[in-house]
Structure 1
Amino acid sequence: MNKEYNLLLADDDDDDCDFFKEALDEIPVTANLSMVHDGVQLMERLGNTALNNLPDVVFLDLNMPRKNGLECLAEIKANQKLQNLPVIIFSTSLDSEIVDNLYKKGASYYIRKPGDFSKLKKVIEKALTTASENQFKQPERANFILQP
């Protein structure tokens, strides 16, 4: 994996953002990480970004203030400029109805936030590797949820 990724993390939890950044720093992936802390900031950032400067992947938390991850995903997929942007859902919940809905709405992958730092590193690396090998296309539903 010699590609350099431009990643955008949308998460309102500062600790989760710090863990994500630390995990990213410790895996063999070259990445620039930007962060926003709610869905409104995310949509403003994406809306104001030129097409050739969009992130390679958005890691999107579901439970955020002002605009949640599901609303953001729907807006991204409805926007001509953003609809091909890979979105990996990154959330603590694992409700099968919500996961099915996210899949139908076009999310690339779903990651349940692990509480363990070593698992977090593994699942972020797996997400980038798997998604990259798959050209960031949505997999079959059976492969939608990534486990560490």
Structure 2
Amino acid sequence: MSLENNSTQRRIYLADDDMDDRALFAEALSQVDPYAILTEAEDGIFLMDLLNNPNSRRPDIVFLDINMPRCNGMQCLEMIRGEDSIFKELPVIILSTSSDPSAVQKAFDLGASFYVVKPATYNEIKYFIDALIKFDWFSHMPKFADFRLL
């Protein structure tokens, strides 16, 4: 591994209570960006502990499932975007099995950077990860994508 690759490693956080979904995401990410560093959380409480740990490196992007125990994705997003939060500009991608317009709107109202309906195939997962980790979040508006329709 070259020094250049080390200096440009993306730090990705993924919060999802489904172990199989996390494993699939990790495998797809490793194919899209083999130098990315993935940190996994099985729920929103664990994700917030990671984000607030002064010894943890700040992620470049967070992928956040909506339906999780203890602290769901919407609650977590609300904390990430909270008034005193240092993570207001952190790109947060909401992952959900639902394309319900009210859920999408609520996510954007709480400050989601992007809302993704979880892809159904492995190639779609690789496509959405590749597109979203390379996206220039600081010069574009939030969007919604249902990768099942692309």
| TM range, smaller chain | 0.7 to 0.9
TM-superposed CA distance for 1:68, in Å, is: 0.2
One-letter identity of the residue aligned with 2:62: V
How far apart are the structure 2 equivalents of 1:21 and 1:10?
A: 12
Cα pair 1:103 1:144 within 8 Å, conserved? no
How far apart are the structure 1 equivalents of 2:146 and 2:33?
A: 18
How far apart are the structure 2 equivalents of 1:69 and 1:138?
A: 23
Q: Which residue of 1 aligns with 2:24?
A: 19
Give the structure with the larger helix fraction: 1
Q: Which residue of 1 aligns with 2:122?
A: 117
Render the CA deviation track for 1:92-141: whole Å, top value 9, x for unaligned: 111110101111111111111112001110011011122xx233x6615x
TM-superposed CA distance for 1:49, in Å, is: 3.3
User: Runs of 5+ in structure 1 lacking a partner?
Assistant: none
2:101 to 53, 76, 96: 96
Cα pair 1:123 1:146 within 8 Å, conserved? no
One-letter identity of the residue aligned with 2:72: N
Q: Which residue of 2 aligns with 1:139?
A: 141
1:40 to 34, 40, 45: 45
TM-superposed CA distance for 1:76, in Å, is: 0.6
**TM-score normalised by the chain length of structure 1:** 0.86
1:127 aligns with 2:129: no
2:77 to 73, 77, 81: 73
Number of residue pairs matched? 141
Residues 89/19 of structure 1: CA separation in 2 closer, same or farther (3 Å cut): same
**TM-score normalised by the chain length of structure 2:** 0.85
* Cα-Cα RMSD: 2.0
How far apart are the structure 2 equivalents of 1:138 and 1:63?
A: 27
SS in 1 for 2:36: strand
Cα pair 1:106 1:138 within 8 Å, conserved? no
One-letter identity of the residue aligned with 1:74: E
One-letter identity of the residue aligned with 2:63: F
How far apart are the structure 2 equivalents of 1:16 and 1:6?
A: 18
User: Runs of 5+ in structure 2 lacking a partner?
Assistant: none
- Identity of paired residues, percent? 38
Cα pair 1:8 1:34 within 8 Å, conserved? yes
